[in-house]
Amino acid sequence: MTEQEIKSILSDCGAFLKGHFLLTSGRHSEYYIEKIKIIQNPDKVQLLCSELSKKFSDVGFDVVISPAMGGIVLGYEVAKILGKKFIFTQRENNKMTIRNGFELSPNEEVLIIEDIVTTGGSVFEVIDCIKKIGAQIMGIGLIVDRSGGKVDFGFLTKPLLTMDIKTYLPEDCPLCKKNIPTAKPGSSNKR
């Protein structure tokens, strides 16, 4: 699939929005990714995850791990397609931890799957969890890298789509100059 095809799948989900958005940072942008919309469409999840699985079919690993919440559905789907074990991490007292009850041993090889990365915060925290146990990280699969490829995790990283979404200060915003009405995106997308 081309990046354009991935974009239109995200548009079909209602996850890739074009307009004039007021971000929580106070900046404005023309595009916005409402990532929760992806998992609202199980058929699209299947399409995207089958594409993501292809990218890692020749990478050896035992376990797929994803951060809660958004990554869980995607990681689970990739694990199912490739016939691997699946576990997830979640924040407990603000600290990313492997969910109680899951097992990860130092001799296991791990693939990290996440939906969207902007600064990569959650993925870096997952990397720390895995390193603490001593398991090997074999790769990181993403639906969208919104950093435009600037985030470097130090491991093989394959996004389905790389984007560098421009944001503007209100006074410099070309959409404001065109008097296009503004909208506040629905869910938090600060990661």
The DSSP-derived string for 117-136 is ESS-HHHHHHHHHHHHHTPE
Residue 176 binds to Zn ion (criterion: CB under 5 A): yes
Q: In angstroms, what is the minimal distance from the CB of 24 to Zn ion?
A: 14
Question: From edge to edge, which strands make up the β-sheet containing 85-92?
Answer: 95-98, 85-92, 63-67, 109-117, 136-145, 157-162
Find the binder of Zn ion among 28, 35, 37, 84 (CB under 5 A): 28
Q: In angstroms, what is the minimal distance from the CB of 18 to Zn ion?
A: 14
Residue 173 binds to Zn ion (criterion: CB under 5 A): yes
For residue 22, give the amino acid letter: L
**CB neighbour class for 101 (10 Å; exposed up to 12, middle 13-18, buried from 19):** exposed
Residue 175 binds to Zn ion (criterion: CB under 5 A): yes
Q: Which stretch binds Zn ion (CB under 5 A): 23-31, 58-66, 101-109, 117-125?
A: 23-31
Residue 29 binds to Zn ion (criterion: CB under 5 A): no
- Residues within the interface to Zn ion (CB under 5 A): 28, 173, 175-176
